[in-house]
């Protein structure tokens, strides 16, 4: 069982940066692929970024490549999402997710989810 708690959301202006954190419980954090998803009002939850358990490989949605960076610190059981040059259309609840094994981009593959953190980008 893995419990995930996100933090770091808030209200920022367009072009600003935010860093989200997701703290995980459990002693086998390094064996889990981690991902960030987001869900805007009235829209489906969508993939943002993912990282392998070892941290060696990362994956991004095309819309965030070059602006967002996912990373993890397995000693701290924490995964991060550095978001730069934020846009108003990226206003959403951002969720952290975990699954054993390989990183994927589908919400259906992830077993464990955090409660989400709100990111609001004003124009």
pLDDT in tens, the chain (123 residues): 899 999 999 999 999 999 999 999 987 899 999 999 999 999 999 999 999 998 789 999 999 999 999 999 999 999 999 999 999 999 999 999 999 989 999 999 999 999 999 999 999
Q: Are 94 and 18 a contacting pair, CB within 8 Å?
A: no
Distance CA 42, CA 2 (A): 28
Interval 73-105: pLDDT, tens: 999 999 999 999 999 999 999 999 999 989 999
| 53 contacts: CB under 8 Å, gap ≥ 6 | 29, 30, 31, 32, 33, 34, 74
């Amino acid at each position: 069982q893995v419990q995930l708690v996100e933090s770091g959301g808030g209200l920022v202006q367009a072009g600003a940066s935010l860093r989200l954190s997701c703290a995980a419980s459990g002693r086998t954090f390094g064996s889990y692929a981690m991902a960030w998803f987001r869900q805007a009002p009235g829209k489906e939850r969508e993939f943002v970024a993912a990282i392998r358990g070892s941290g060696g490989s990362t994956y991004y949605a095309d819309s965030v490549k070059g602006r967002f960076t996912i990373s993890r610190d397995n000693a701290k059981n924490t995964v991060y999402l550095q978001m730069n040059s934020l846009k108003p259309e990226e206003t959403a609840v951002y969720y952290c997710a975990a699954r054993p094994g390989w990183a994927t981009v589908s919400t259906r593959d992830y077993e464990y989810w955090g409660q989400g953190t709100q990111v609001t980008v004003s124009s």
